[in-house]
Amino acid sequence: MKTTFIICLTFTPVLFGFQKEPINKEFLQANVYGNRVINKSIINYDKSFVSDDRLFYESLISTKTETPDQKLVKKTLQNYISGSSYNKLELIKSAFASNATLYLTGRQGFKRYTPEEYANFFKNGEAGKFNGREGRILEFEITKDIATAKVEIAGPKRKWVYIDLFLLKKIEGNWKIISKTATKVSEVKAN
């Protein structure tokens, strides 16, 4: 759900008239070069492109307004992250649908867990006290009433790092994690 604006440094009435359709790169190129074959060099420089004649920038105007669903998905993921970072079992469980499945590899090998079983991993920690786990949302994508998300979870002093993948579903107006899996992307560092 990314809104992108492309602004041309040359002003033409066609480009900046009152149009109902969004402007895209191909539209700009067609208006700049007409129907001739575009044989000019175009170089992509992170959110911009350069031709022999003009420089175009994307996202000069920042309009990153979050939709209500984006805010709710982030809140669900933050509940999971905060709950597991501060040993808050109820907060962890609140992020999951009651019938969610978690597929994790642990000491006993690959196993399926319930949200209750997963939350109990944190029952021995002092509730509300930071346990060293840090999490951050790397990305998520919403399609109607489902979403996917990728979260990085790092242990104390980044001794280990996991990537968690989530499936979320909008259930009765609330976003809930319906499935989770994870993989370790770093080995324990020697002290």
The percent of residues above 70 in pLDDT, for the chain, comes to: 64
CA distances from 40 to 9, 54, 70, 88, 161 (A): 17, 11, 39, 58, 45
Q: What is the pTM of this model?
A: 0.65
Q: What is the CATH number of domain 68-184?
A: 3.10.450.50
CA distances from 74 to 35, 65, 86, 90, 189 (A): 44, 14, 18, 18, 31
Query: Lowest mean pLDDT: which of 35-39, 60-64, 117-121, 127-131?
Result: 35-39
In the predicted model, is pLDDT for residue 12 greater than 50?
Answer: no
Q: Give the tokens for residue 68.
A: 């209500």
- Mean pLDDT value across residues 138-162: 96
- Report yes or no: 72 and 18 within 8 Å, Cβ to Cβ: no
Average pLDDT over residues 139-147: 98
128 or 22: whose pLDDT is higher?
128
- pLDDT the model gives residue 5: 47
Q: Looking at per-residue confidence, does 190 or 173 come out higher?
A: 173
Model confidence band, residue 107 (pLDDT cutoffs 50, 70, 90): confident
| Amino acid in position 37 | V
Neighbours of 47 (CB within 10 A): 12
pLDDT at 91 over 50: yes
pLDDT at 16 over 50: no
Q: Does pLDDT of 48 surpass 60?
A: no
Contacts of residues 7-10 at CB distance under 8 Å and 24 or more positions apart, as own/partner, are 7/56, 7/57, 7/58, 7/60, 7/61, 8/32, 8/54, 8/56, 9/54, 9/55, 9/56, 9/57, 10/54
Amino acid letter at 2? K
- For position 13, what pLDDT does the model report? 46
Taking residues 110-132, what's their average pLDDT? 97
Give CA separation, 122 vs 33, 114, 161, 167, in Å: 61, 14, 17, 22
Give 30's pLDDT tier (boundaries 50, 70, 90).
low
Whole-number Cα distances in Å, 115 to 96, 102, 142: 6, 7, 22
When pLDDT is cut at 50, 70 and 90, the band that residue 161 belongs to is very high
Q: Are 158 and 128 in contact (CB under 8 A)?
A: no
